[in-house]
Chain A
Amino acid sequence: MKPAAFTYHRARDVDGATRLLAELGDEAKLIAGGQSLVAMMNFRLARPRHLIDIGGIDGLDHLRTDAGGALRVGALATHHAVHTAPPDRLGPGHAVIRDAMRWIGHLPIRTRGTVGGSLAHADATAEWCLLATLLDAELTARGPGGRRRIAARDFFHGYYTTALEPHEMLTEITFPRPAPHAALTEFAERQGDFATVSAAVSLDLADDGALRGGRVALGGVDALPVRVPEAEEALGSGAPPGPETFARCAEAAAAAIDPPDDANGSAHYRRTLTRTLVTRACEEAMAR
């Protein structure tokens, strides 16, 4: 047997899970889809003494768009459920989220892996982390002391570290506003791998097609997903949306970052990827 021995607990509800977390202390870990955790346990990179299975908790896999246009996703919703959600639950205003799912691993990973697990795991190139950063998502966590909401910009602290307290559990993520002209794209060595660099853009287009501004977020260029204000300036300059503006935006993004230099790619390579991917994301966002 590959993983180290552990005690298995099955939580019936959120209170039960957080109570167990508080009782068992540092040696305990939640398990949702297991698509990151079990791989780490099989390598013995993780050796929790206690596993608290939250997979069976009812009512945490919801997915719906509010009357106000906010999209609410339960922490236990799988990537596959988001990918295949009916349009009345996930409409054109959040199509960028649906379409980003195809970049996450492969079908058998997406049928198990969950939104909450992805965000809590906080890989710097995870699609959910990039989407949360791009779209100002709000994350809801529950702990023994109650519930709190955390803005995405305060949630990610660095490689695999977040603002979650040890006894807290994510229950929901909210995308407060529709982003109808947005796109996420990336490059990975092989189909389904974590991205070397990923780029996401949301354009703010007026009804007459004028470009009023936009957001640019990157994964794989820092220890956490980042917004790039320098690149966003190019989108808010009053220039018309088109190849020249997008090229200036991409150039500004490539100049602003200080990407890591490692086995997955040199800093120069990541900068070059950033230039190409930001341009592509702008074009795809515009085409929506």
Chain B
Amino acid sequence: MSDTTHHPHHQQLIGLHVNGEQYEILTEPRRTLADALRHDLGITGTHVGCEHGICGACTVLLDDAPVRSCLMFAAQAEGARVRTVESLSDGRELSDLQQAFSAHHALQCGFCTPGFLMLAEGFLAERPDATKEEIREVVAANLCRCTGYQTIVEAIDDCAAARRRVAPTALAPAQDD
């Protein structure tokens, strides 16, 4: 099998699958996924705060798992499904998670919100039966300088509870004791 090589400064063709659509972009290998989304695709819902993994504003889903899009290069996302905050709503109505954030006042300036939404979306998909304590620990991944975390935790917990009422799930085994 052959290894592939892309040269610096040379633009390289990268295929990205974002929110259900396939794109091809011409960019340098050092383009992060966050920058590729924002600058090459114009999908600007994903925010960029620190660019070294601390704030979580850039969180997106990669094959359903929450990841920091500033800590990977666009080329590393080839062959994976990327989901950004734009995928949550159908364009007319907000998703249940977004509505819960609104109802609980889980945002003020909103800069951090896309990251928190995608973190919660990925986490709840894997652990629909998450306890409030687990939610509290998970949102520690991201920084919010306005709201305080209480309302964010409540929004996510409320959304999870509502989803459970609609589609009751078997209680998943606890990961931690």
Contacts and interface: CB of A to CB of B under 8 A. Distances in A.
Contacts of B68: 35, 108-109, 112
B176 interface: yes
Contacts of B12: 8
B22 interface: no
Contact of B71 (A1, A11, A55, A112): A112
Contact of A1 (B28, B122, B176): B28
A191 B140 contact: yes
A49 B8 contact: yes
The bracket for how many chain A residues form the interface is 35 or more
A43 B54 CA distance: 13
A102 interface: yes
Nearest to A113: B71
A10 interface: yes
Contacts of B1: 12-13, 16
Identify which of B31, B66, B76 gathers the most chain A CB atoms within 10 Å of its CB. Answer: B76
Contact of A108 (B30, B35, B66, B73): B66
Contact of A2 (B5, B32, B65, B122): B32
B137 A191 contact: yes
B8 A80 contact: no
A73 interface: no
Contacts of A38: 32, 53, 70-73
Contacts of A20: 3
Contacts of A53: 75-76
Given A42-B51, A192-B140, A7 B73 contact: no
Interface residues of B, number: 44
B5 to A, nearest CB: 5
A47 to B, nearest CB: 10
A188 to B, nearest CB: 11
A84 interface: yes
Contacts of A35: 53, 68, 71
A43 to B, nearest CB: 6
Given A6-B30, A20-B3, A191-B140, A43 B52 contact: yes
A213 interface: no
A89 interface: no
Interface string B44-73: 000000011100100100100111101111
A175 to B, nearest CB: 20
B123 interface: yes
A12 B2 contact: yes
Given A11-B3, A83-B175, A108-B56, A55 B28 contact: no
A42 B9 contact: no
A138 B132 CA distance: 39
Interface in A1-34: 1-13, 16-17, 20, 31, 34
A107 interface: yes
B53 A5 contact: no
Contacts of B75: 8, 10, 53
Contacts of B6: 7-9
Contacts of A41: 30
A35 B54 CA distance: 11
A102 B175 CA distance: 9
A53 B32 CA distance: 14
B25 interface: no
Contacts of A6: 8, 29-30
Nearest to B2: A12
A55 B76 CA distance: 8
B31 A1 contact: yes
Nearest to A20: B3
B119 interface: yes
B175 A84 contact: yes
Contact of B141 (A2, A98, A106): A106
Interface in A28-73: 31, 34-35, 38-39, 41-43, 49, 51, 53, 55-56
Nearest to B14: A8
Contacts of B177: 99
A276 interface: no
Q: Rank and list the top 6 A-B pairs by shortest CB-CB distance, nearest first.
A: A106-B141, A5-B8, A8-B29, A12-B1, A111-B65, A191-B140
